[in-house]
Amino acid sequence: MTSSPDIRAEAMRLVDRLRLTGATPVETDILQPAETLLDLYGEDIRARAYVTQDPLRGETMLRPDFTVPVVQMHMASGVDRAQYVYAGDVFRMQEDNTDRPREYLQVGYEDFGDDARAAADARVFALFSDLLSETELKPATGDIGILIAAVTGLSTTERRKAALLRHIWRPRRFRALLDRFSGAGKPRDIPTVLDPDAPEIGKRRASEVTARLAALRAEADTDPIGAGEVELLSTVFGLSETLPNVVSHLSDIAIDMPALQPAVEGLVARADALAAAGVAIEDLAFETSYGRTSMEYYDGFVFGFSRPDRPDLPPVAQGGRYDALTRVLGQGRGVAAVGGIIRPADLLEIAP
């Protein structure tokens, strides 16, 4: 097993390499306010974060990642263009895999304010690819923006689209909603009125329950999403080939789903930028749903570098674009943002 001093030495080596980009080293508190993370991820994050109670700061969490506090720091600075590098411990519960560490060192790089998004995506991917060039890690890419565009383009109500977008990172829940909205799920038995003599139990008032029932009845009366659109959506979500082949497939699908066109144009621009950065895109794996279950705050390009012999393990390095997160943490003011992280302990495990 790799020793802690070796892991920290490897982390510093990576930091030194990343500083050559002009990135500024930063640090963040190990204890983070739980409220921000709960607002972003919901109660689900409690299953994988260490939560504690501080008498003055209230509910806090041991730092589950660096990106959120670094984004908060950057947005509070009022600066648009900046690059940062960091190294430090993060903490994650491992209920499903007792062999994975609960505390591990993470090295990261974040790039803010470059509005040439395709070029910035390509530059960050090429940077990580170069850092990992002496390993046998296999790169993979995707684009959450393609999924978001496909859902946004559905011919249905804004309420339905918002519900699908909210659960886009939860495939089972997403599928259940899509089945219900397309008429494939079991119809709900919705009461028309409340019993006026029923007692009010819990925090919801009778007026709130009545409003909710009205919304459910309106939903039940809405025309289902057509089978053709459901099939197109399933095709988009299931694409997994080389980048040029996926571009070709999506260009064809966009003819029948015009809402995809801007996202496809962005994908083409990124492919060109990757090729210009020296990336062999002909062999680059691309999966539209890549990162869908584990990269919740990303809303565009995503990538990862994994061990081909251990697909069960998390990527050794991963990252992507998260413009929407800057708008949330910047109280409406957003900037372009892309970055990634490396797990130095995992990197040392596969070092030649």
Q: How far is Cα 301 from Cα 147, in angstroms, rounded to an integer? A: 11
Residue 141: Cβ within 10 Å count: 26
Among residues 193, 208, 223, the one where a domain terminates is 223
Is residue 208 packed enough to be buried (19+ CB in 10 Å), middle (13-18) or exposed (0-12)?
Answer: exposed
Is residue 178 in a domain?
A: no
Is residue 176 in a domain?
A: no
Is residue 115 in a domain?
A: yes
176-to-170, 184, 295 alpha-carbon distances in Å: 10, 9, 21
Is residue 200 in a domain?
A: yes
Same domain? For 85 and 123 the reply is yes
Is residue 349 in a domain?
A: yes
Q: What is the pLDDT of residue 77?
A: 92
Q: How many domains does the chain have?
A: 3
Same domain? For 27 and 91 the reply is yes
Is residue 103 in a domain?
A: yes
Same domain? For 120 and 14 the reply is yes
What CATH number corresponds to the domain at position 9? 3.30.930.10
| 32's tokens | 């983070």
Same domain? For 93 and 80 the reply is yes
Same domain? For 246 and 259 the reply is yes
Among residues 162, 193, 223, the one where a domain terminates is 223
Is residue 42 packed enough to be buried (19+ CB in 10 Å), middle (13-18) or exposed (0-12)?
Answer: exposed
Same domain? For 142 and 289 the reply is yes
Same domain? For 121 and 46 the reply is yes
Helices (H), 221-343: 227-238, 243-256, 261-276, 323-329
Is residue 177 in a domain?
A: no
Same domain? For 268 and 293 the reply is yes
Same domain? For 274 and 191 the reply is no
Q: Per the confidence metrics, is the pTM higher than 0.75? A: yes
Q: What is the pLDDT of residue 1?
A: 45
- What's the domain range around 165? 138-170+226-302
Mean pLDDT by 10 residues, the chain (352 residues): 81 96 94 79 70 81 89 92 95 69 91 97 97 93 96 92 91 92 67 62 65 62 87 95 96 94 96 97 95 84 92 89 92 93 91 65
Same domain? For 242 and 151 the reply is yes
Is residue 175 in a domain?
A: no
Reduce the DSSP state of residue 341 to 3 states and report it.
strand
Report which of 151, 116, 93, 134 is spatially closest to residue 277, judged by C-alpha positions.
116
Q: What is the pLDDT of residue 219?
A: 62
Same domain? For 113 and 45 the reply is yes
Q: What is the pLDDT of residue 18?
A: 97
Q: What is the pLDDT of residue 54?
A: 78
| 78's tokens | 């009022």
Same domain? For 272 and 159 the reply is yes
